[in-house]
């Protein structure tokens, strides 16, 4: 029997990660740290790494620049078991980069260069689907300006007709986005989505509501089959046409929250690959998301395959 295959499509970033700082330096001053690390980040990359860590056959589809950062990203992914043949070079862009500045007792600060993610198109996804995949994760939709919503919706429609399940995540591209444009871009794709996984801030902007049930009603009305709103330290909220519940958080010793939402998505897809019930898959997703917060960077402290296997026994 063929092993299930997952395609992770979307944003890829080179993350320059500082250790947790006691505070940011004053103007003209320097803070010395033990090390500064280069990781791979971005929704699609993080989910692919998270899945590969759990033994899932994961292929990444995205863009990097023709530079040292791009080469490092591909090497980083391959070293963690991710298939990278569908990661291509965007000739007119450098690799997307983010400097992550975690400060003790504060939320993280980010300095970001959009880079090659601006060149990711629906064609990139279509080209990768010349072979069958059982699950498709779309990460960072709404923050990839070259994607045509009608084109990607048509591609996802064909993939789902062939039996694939689609999980959709978004990133809002600006601090004050045009909500009407976001909804227009999202609606045709939501119709071709099995599970939509926004965080509570994204859901609030898209729907215009701060209330979880109202958010879910709105998103289901736009065409989503199932909605999971992630809420950080407050857990998550699941809603479909027939079911809803509040999923409690999994408590860990917090170091850095980078990549926690992506790890949640990876855990969710893993549960789907394992044919678990939705309730069970969301519990695993919560645990996997929490495990990302145990160390610096997006994927370095994720639960191992053995830890997940032990959790599956409970």
pLDDT at 259: 84
pLDDT of residue 1: 65
The reply to whether 298 falls in a domain is yes
Identify the DSSP state of 21: B
Nearest Cα to Cα of residue 43 among 181, 202, 183: 202
Tell me if 88 is assigned to some domain. Answer: no
DSSP letters of 66-92? SSHHHHHHHHHHHHTT-EEEEEEE-TT
Q: Is 90 domain-assigned?
A: no
What does pTM read for this prediction?
Answer: 0.93
Judge whether 302 lies within some domain: yes
10 Å CB burial of residue 201 (0-12, 13-18, 19+) is middle
Q: What is the 3-state secondary structure (H, E, C) of 22-43?
A: CCCCCCCCCCCCCCCEEEEECH
Full residue range of the structural domain in which residue 243 is found: 42-61+118-313
Residue 85 forms part of a structural domain: no
- What pLDDT is recorded for position 314? 63
Q: Which of 14, 17, 19 is nearest to 37 (CA)?
A: 17
- Tens-place pLDDT, residues 29-78: 999 999 999 999 999 999 999 999 999 999 999 999 999 999 999 999 99
Count of domains observed in the chain: 1
pLDDT at 311: 77
Residues of the chain with pLDDT under 70: 1, 314
Contacts of residue 150, Cβ cutoff 8 Å, sequence gap at least 6: 188
Please report whether residue 98 resides in a domain.
no
CATH of the domain at 147: 3.40.1190.20
Per-residue model confidence (pLDDT) at position 106: 86
The span from the CA of 48 to the CA of 45, in Å, is 5
Q: Is residue 35 part of a domain?
A: no
261 lies in a domain?
Answer: yes
**Structure tokens belonging to residue 193:** 């989505």
Give 10's DSSP letter. E
């Amino acid at each position: 029997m063929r092993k299930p295959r997952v395609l992770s499509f979307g944003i890829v970033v080179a993350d320059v990660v500082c250790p947790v700082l006691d505070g940011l330096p004053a103007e003209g001053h320097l803070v010395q740290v033990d090390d500064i690390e280069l990781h791979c980040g971005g929704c699609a990359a993080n989910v692919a790494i998270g899945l590969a860590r759990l033994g899932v056959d994961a292929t990444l589809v995205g863009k990097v620049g023709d530079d040292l950062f791009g080469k490092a990203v591909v090497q980083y992914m391959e070293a963690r078991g991710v298939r990278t043949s569908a990661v291509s070079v965007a000739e007119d862009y450098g690799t997307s980069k983010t400097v992550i500045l975690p400060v003790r007792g504060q939320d993280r600060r980010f300095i970001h260069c959009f880079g090659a993610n601006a060149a990711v198109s629906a064609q990139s996804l279509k080209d990768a689907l010349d072979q069958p995949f059982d699950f498709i994760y779309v990460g960072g939709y709404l923050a990839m300006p070259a994607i045509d919503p009608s084109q990607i919706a048509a591609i996802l429609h064909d993939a789902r007709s062939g039996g694939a399940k689609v999980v959709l995540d978004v990133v809002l591209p600006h601090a004050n986005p045009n909500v009407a444009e976001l909804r227009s871009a999202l609606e045709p794709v939501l119709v071709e989505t099995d599970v939509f996984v926004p965080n509570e801030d994204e859901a609030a902007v898209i729907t215009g509501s701060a209330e979880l049930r109202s958010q879910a009603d709105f998103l289901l009305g736009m065409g989503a089959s199932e909605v999971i709103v992630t809420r950080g330290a407050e857990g998550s909220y699941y809603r479909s046409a027939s079911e809803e519940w509040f999923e409690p958080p999994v408590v860990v010793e917090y170091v850095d929250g980078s990549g926690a939402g992506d790890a949640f998505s990876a855990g969710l897809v893993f549960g789907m690959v394992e044919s678990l019930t939705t309730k069970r898959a969301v519990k695993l997703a919560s645990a996997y998301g929490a495990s990302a917060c145990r160390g610096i960077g997006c994927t370095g402290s994720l639960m191992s395959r053995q830890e997940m296997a032990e959790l599956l026994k409970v």
